[in-house]
Amino acid sequence: MAKTVLTERDILNAVKTGKKTFFVDKNTVVTPSAKDKAKELKVGFTDKKDESAQPQPPKPAESYTAATISNSNVGSNLIVIGSDHGGFETKEMLKKYLGELGYRTLDVGTNSEEACDYPDYAFAVARIVAKGEAWRGIMVDATGVASSIVCNKIPGIRAVACYNEFVAHSSREHNDANVLTLGAKSLGTEVIKSIVKVWLETWFGGGRHKKRVDKITDVERKFSKGSNQ
């Protein structure tokens, strides 16, 4: 059964509607930031389900397009995925694999192996994650490096080009990375699958790591538009 992910944004959105209790069970993963925000806002958790108050869980393996996302109640568990022409075949493979893992996908293109520019699609992936319209993002090009550079220009994005499971785990546990970039021409299919699975299933460690991620955010703010520093 697919895991349901409860994020800080879910807590904030619920509080706006007056909700003060969340149902959690063994298939619910509460992120560290969600726990912190719940404590701050005095939101509780219960294992007793109120069917009338709980939204139905998303259907796994559901796929969205950019044209339909604005009219969809996407919530968490949605992965936005994109690629350039070099990563197109890998992107199509990953969409199927993500469905098998129980995730929904939003494909922002490209839609063929015709030559295109990776910054366009990397920006689309990162922007959707930054706006909170998808839980996490995955972008595929030849090496993963080029797209990570683009994604990291977007405020709120921490993109990482992963090349093995250790890096994938560390980027999530230590850095709270929210966009994964992959190299279709530098990694094999099974390695890519293993990286994606580890990256999606590893949770931010919080604690001393949160302090360091907060410092990353501080640097971002110093150089944001309008800053005098």
- Does a structural domain hold residue 53? no
Closest CA to 129 of 14, 7, 227: 7
Tell me the percentage of the chain whose pLDDT exceeds 70: 83
DSSP for residue 211: H
141 lies in which domain range?
Answer: 63-201
Q: Catalytic residue positions?
A: 174
Question: If we measure between CA atoms, which residue out of 83, 79, 75, 72 comes closest to residue 101?
Answer: 79
What's at 114, amino acid-wise? E
Q: What is the pLDDT of residues 110-152, one digit of tens each?
A: 999 999 999 999 999 999 999 999 999 999 999 999 999 999 9
Q: Percent of the chain at pLDDT above 90?
A: 61
pTM of the model: 0.69
Pairwise CA distance, residues 171 & 177, whole Å: 6
Q: Which two tokens stand for residue 130?
A: 């930054």
Task: Give pLDDT, residue 142.
Answer: 97
Tally of domains in the chain:
2
Question: Where does the pLDDT of residue 80 fall: very low under 50, low under 70, confident under 90, or very high at 90 and above?
Answer: very high
CA distance 17 to 187: 45
CATH number at residue 157: 3.40.1400.10
Report yes or no: 196 and 184 within 8 Å, Cβ to Cβ. no
Q: Are residues 14 and 115 in the same domain?
A: no
